[in-house]
Amino acid sequence: MPLIMFKIALQEPSVQKDTQLFQNGIGIGYQKEPKQPSSVHKSSFQVESKINSAKCKRKFIDNKMKLVLLFTVFITLAAIKAQPVDKEGRTGPTGALDEEWENFKTKFNKRYKNAEEEEYRKGIFAKSLKKIQEHNKKYDAGEVSFKQGINHLADLTVNEYRAGYLGISKTVM
C-alpha cells in the first residue's frame, strides 16, 4: 500500500503554526513550521521596498543630472576652444579682429604714420567689419539680396570717404 502523507495546518493568531502529519489517515505527529511574517512585517517590508525604490530613482536622477552637467561643460569648453586666439592668447572677437586687421593691411598694402594712427584706423575697421558681418547675417537669412565684404576703404570714416573719393567736404553736409 502506498504511503500517503498530507498536512493540516492549525493556526492560532500569534503562535507558530503547528502542522499535523498524517500517514494513511492516522495522525503521526506535529511539525513546527517557521512563523510567517505578520501583516506588520509585510507592510514594513513594503515601506522599506518603496524607500529603496525612491533612493534608486533619486540616484538615477542624480546621475542623469551629472551627465547633463558634464555634457554642458564639454560643449562650453568646445565652443571656447573653437574661438580664434590672438597673439596675446585672447579668445573671441578680439583675436578674430586682430587676424582680420592683419589680413586687411597685407592685402591692401596699408601703412600708417605711427601706432596711434594705426589704433585709430583699427577701430574704424572694427566698426566697418561689424556692420558687414551684421549685413551678411541678414543675407544668409534671406532678408537682403546682396553680400558685403572688406575693401580698401574699410579703415576710413564716412566723412573721410566722402571728402577723399566724392569731393564732398564736411561743411556741405
Predicted local confidence at residue 128, as pLDDT = 92
State the pTM of this model.
0.46
Predicted local confidence at residue 164, as pLDDT = 84
Q: Where are the domains of the chain?
A: 1-36, 37-82, 85-172
Distance (Å, whole) CA 145 – CA 153: 22
Identify whether the C-beta of residue 22 lies closer than 8 Å to the C-beta of residue 8: yes
Secondary structure of 50-117 in HEC code, one letter for each residue: HHHHHHHHHHHHHHHHHHHHHHHHHHHHHHHHHCCECCCCCECHHHHHHHHHHHHHHHCCCCCCCHHH
φ and ψ of 91, to 5 deg:
-105, 170
**Taking the domain 85-172, which CATH number applies?**
1.10.287.2250
Pairing relation of β-strands 26-32 and 5-10? unpaired
- Cβ contacts of 136 within 8 Å, gap of 6 or more: 147, 148
Identify whether the C-beta of residue 36 lies closer than 8 Å to the C-beta of residue 16: no
Identify whether the C-beta of residue 17 lies closer than 8 Å to the C-beta of residue 9: yes
Distance (Å, whole) CA 173 – CA 161: 13
Predicted local confidence at residue 4, as pLDDT = 54
Residues of the chain with pLDDT under 50: 6-7, 9-16, 39-41, 86-92, 173
Which uninterrupted H or E stretch holds 165? none
Burial of 4 (0-12, 13-18, 19+ CB in 10 A): exposed
Tell me which residue has cell 552637467: 69
Q: What is the pLDDT of residues 116-144, one digit of tens each?
A: 999 999 999 999 999 999 999 999 999 99
